[in-house]
Amino acid sequence: MAECKSSAGMAGKTVIITGGNTGIGKATATELAKRGARVILACRNKHKAEQAIADIERETGSTDVQYMHLDLASLQAVRCFAQTFLKTESRLDLLINNAGLVADGRTEDGFGIEFGVNHLGHFLLTCLLLDRLKEAPQSRVVTLTSMAHRWGKIDFDALVTNKDLGEGRYSWQFFNAYCNSKLCNSLFTHELAKRLRGTNVTCYSVHPGVVRTELSRHVSLWQMVIVVPISRLFFLDPKAGAQTTLYCALQEGIEPLSGRYFFCCAVEDVCAQAKDDAVAKKLWDISEGLCGLS
């Protein structure tokens, strides 16, 4: 697996990492704290966050890792997080939209859980923090997608009528919904880059590889019996999975590649539908409406 070789420091800079208390997010937080960043772990579980902070401080010696409550399954909670952050923090240099899940169910606002958490919560969070990002000399937004975006599709009729991009209770339907949400992440980054042209903010989408994380912690017991042994044998550990995220966060000179998709610390092409200008704009406009921004 490729390794981020940037030597860039992060002293004096502030970072938000969603889902930063476990997996790729925690590994990313550890490296950025090691480089001197002020790191905000934006996550739902306070107990896990406090455990992660203790681990990170022990490994890095940093005393500047903080927890702030964020529940991406609630648009009101996302707004509360943004309001608290903007009141208490004077700068934001890096936003890493890392959190994600594979699960069944609905968000507090009635959206399909995968669409609501993986895409819509991060969409709203980014929009609410954009002005603070623009105040930094140079800032970045890194959003974790997946190669699974290639199998996704956007059914706007289903989104408007059902508040979701898929429905059903079978495992393959969960996976389809996950693929759809990851396509949303890629389209979001594509459209965001267009809207950020001429500013000091750049954005990138990342496929971290197939990594041992808690992504599928909400699936059934029999599915876990299958997934866990396979993951231990063949999947990357979180530190290896964090390398492309770190590359997009730290690597000097990639600003002209804003909006692009990265894997193994290198830019890669996405499927045609993930860079469709009309689809990306329509998804953005609908997402604004669903979030109450338009």
Each residue's pLDDT tens digit, 238-273: 999 999 999 999 999 999 999 999 999 999 999 999
- Amino acid symbol at 37: A
Each residue's pLDDT tens digit, 54-95: 999 999 999 999 999 999 999 999 999 999 999 999 999 999
Contact (CB, 8 A) for 242 and 265: no
Considering the entire predicted model, what is its pTM? 0.90
Which residues are tagged catalytic?
Answer: 178
CA distance 100 to 113: 10
- In three-state form (DSSP H/G/I as H, E/B as E, the rest C), the secondary structure along 190-252 is HHHHHHCCCCCEEEEEEECCCECCCCCCCCCHHHHHHHHHHHHHHCECHHHHCHHHHHHHHCC
Q: Which domains does the chain have, with CATH numbers?
A: 14-291 (3.40.50.720)
Sign of CA dihedral 232, 237, 240, 244: positive
Each residue's pLDDT tens digit, 159-170: 988 898 766 554
Q: Spell out the long-range contacts of 160-166 with Cβ–Cβ below 8 A and sequence spacing 24 or more.
A: 160/286, 162/112, 163/106, 163/109, 163/110, 163/111, 163/112, 163/115, 163/290, 164/111, 164/112, 164/115, 165/112, 165/115, 166/112
Listed in sequence order, the residues at least 6 apart from 244 whose beta carbon sits closer than 8 Å to its beta carbon are 2, 4, 206, 207, 208, 209, 262, 263, 264, 265
Choice between 274 and 173, residue whose per-residue pLDDT is larger: 274
